[in-house]
Amino acid sequence: MKIQFLGHSAFYLEEGRFKALTDPFLDDSPICNISSEEFKELTHIFLTHGHFDHIGDAVKLSERTGALIISNKEICEHLNLFGVKTQIISIGETIEFEYGTVKMVAAAHPSEITHGEEMKDGGDASGFIFNINGTKIYHPGDTTLMEEMKDYKIENIDVALLPIGGTYTMDIVEASKAIEYIDPKVVIPMHYNTFPVIEADPYEFKKNSEKIIVLNIGEIYEI
């Protein structure tokens, strides 16, 4: 399967007919030079929480491609106002689809939705554990280090996408601890250098574990 880094928490996942985006913050991202227009076919969009840098271009992508948006109840209800297709998933729940499953897991982070001048309740922030044809990918969304990441060891995660930018999420030190907790085979850093407040050097992070692979924006890791 293909895992393409699109900057921030945005990844394109592809396996056969499964073509998905996570947290598609593309067109307004200061670091992503790949337009949302480039994604012609999408089956799913997964949203970890309600912040603008995670909902991103989900509505226009779903309108254009018909992709099903999978997120929590509050975010799905909000997005339904725009007439897009959504499916609610709750923390602890697993959804099956043609190429595998996705489980929603907890994250320690707020999740408000900005709607014009208004701030709406975005429910609980989350992460996802994907199992696509036997390959397990953990996308934690925005989160600080959590003790329960130790429980993910038994999941045998192949690829953990870990935020390292600090301020709103784990920083390099905490993300290095998370690698010990989760014990994945491969780690790809995310959620850094998009904004000055989340500046981090992924190559500093890479010094802490040989499992770490730094992807440039647009670069694909194949597993």
List residues binding Mn ion (CB under 5 A).
Answer: 53, 142
Residue closer to Mn ion, measured from CB, 107 or 129: 107
Shortest distance in whole angstroms from residue 140 CB to Mn ion:
11
Residue closer to Ni ion, measured from CB, 15 or 53: 53
Shortest distance in whole angstroms from residue 165 CB to Ni ion:
11
Site for Ni ion contains 139 (CB under 5 A): no
Residue closer to Mn ion, measured from CB, 25 or 205: 25
Shortest distance in whole angstroms from residue 89 CB to Mn ion:
19
Residue 182 token pair: 């989760």
Q: What is the DSSP string of 68-96?
A: EEEE-HHHHHHHHTTT--EEE--TT-EEE
Site for Ni ion contains 142 (CB under 5 A): yes
Site for Ni ion contains 23 (CB under 5 A): no
Contact 50, 124 (CB under 8 A): no
Separation between Cα atoms, residue 26 and residue 31, nearest integer Å: 8
DSSP category for residue 194? S
Environment class of 60 (CB within 10 Å of its CB; exposed 0-12, middle 13-18, buried 19+)? middle
Shortest distance in whole angstroms from residue 142 CB to Ni ion:
4
Residues that bind Ni ion (CB under 5 A): 51, 142
